Structure 1
């Protein structure tokens, strides 16, 4: 595979890459001897202080990062900046960085260390009618529960029939929330104290309802990351591929 510059990679802002894809992408970058390179690692909470600094060694990165949306700068997992000549790339890692560092080299080691870490992660996947709850350690699925519960679709007609239909649907939604919440309790309780992060996936509004109604999730708010796993069909077969999604990073080129 031929070497490329950051400009040549054709990355769409916000594009997601799993561990293997990210490794392949970054190994293609040609850091020639005539190029000025640097690597920036900012842990969560350090972004604002860095941006307000006046250290001359930080100014090139301050100017680059100032072109990005505030939501990117305030990422809950921190950010990684890689520059090669006049171009740069920002990586939002899947899990929070623990140190802030600035290198005058193309240094991927802290990124690799984070992606290699065998985090224990709790996962909740929910769509109306089906749910999956799992615990992963590194790339390994170590515990899971999946189930299906029929939920009626929305009813467009009016009158008494619609009200009766809505009550039935609400009861079915309540039941799947209860079943999912019980599965969360059953799967997560043996690992409490060891689960480092929780990730949710599925339909946005359905998940929001679950978060409000499930005490087991309320107690895990401080380790629940805001990014959502894009899973269309929560079932046992899906859980194998979810292990790859857990380590997806989001990329933003600065050209």
Structure 2
């Protein structure tokens, strides 16, 4: 599957599933009457259009197109950590299959319209609940992800950045935090189906096209 959206600063981002990458490359060459390759950057022969390819998490060390094609054909083992204030999911993705997972929902009080002391009291309660949720989520991450950390090529996170950050601040998860990939997946409230969708999204190759 191919998805595209505008890129900040110009051009657009395209996300390509590994199975379609070779066909996309053939199409780029065909549309541009060939292309010059420099590492993971393609420049069209006929008009200078540029495509910069970014490997999926776990393949950050690949340096050219051939190595990228080889790498995506045998996807690395990664961990997934998805979190929002009311739910989290953790999973191990072995190639293309989720081999271990846990999804958990948490009760978190919403905001109150009351002001003054009452509002402050509810704000403190929400803060305390957020801390408790982060701790419970860290417990799950420790149980599902940490035993496999030595076998993981990357940890891919998704959801609310602040919530994910709070979970990974737990000192027990330092080995996982060290594997965290810079990309944050956009996901709905974590459920099993959302975890499965994230496993697919994490394998995609991102391409910055200009123009």
Q: TM-score range by the shorter chain?
A: 0.7 to 0.9
5+ residue gaps, structure 1, are 1-10, 42-79, 102-107
Which among 118, 132, 135 is matched to residue 89 of structure 2?
A: 132
Count of residue pairs the alignment pairs up? 199
Give the greater-gyration-radius structure (CA).
Answer: 1
CA distance in 2, matches of 1:252, 1:167: 43
**Structural RMSD (CA):** 2.4
Q: Secondary structure of the equivalent of 1:126? A: strand
Point out the structure with the larger strand share: 2
* Dislocated runs of 4+, deviation >4 Å: none
1:224 aligns with 2:180: yes
Q: Secondary structure of the equivalent of 1:119? A: coil
The equivalent of 1:206 in structure 2 is 163
Instruction: Please give the residue correspondences for 1:12-161 in structure 2 after superposition, counting only pairs within 5 Å.
Output: 12-31=11-30, 35=33, 37-41=35-39, 80-85=40-45, 86-95=48-57, 96-100=59-63, 108-161=65-118
Does structure 1 conserve the Cα–Cα contact (< 8 Å) formed by 2:62 and 2:68?
A: no
Does structure 2 conserve the Cα–Cα contact (< 8 Å) formed by 1:211 and 1:218?
A: yes
5+ residue gaps, structure 2, are 1-9
Greater RCO (Cα-Cα under 8 Å, separation 6 or more):
2
Q: Secondary structure of the equivalent of 2:72? A: helix
CA distance in 1, matches of 2:86, 2:67: 41
The equivalent of 1:164 in structure 2 is 121
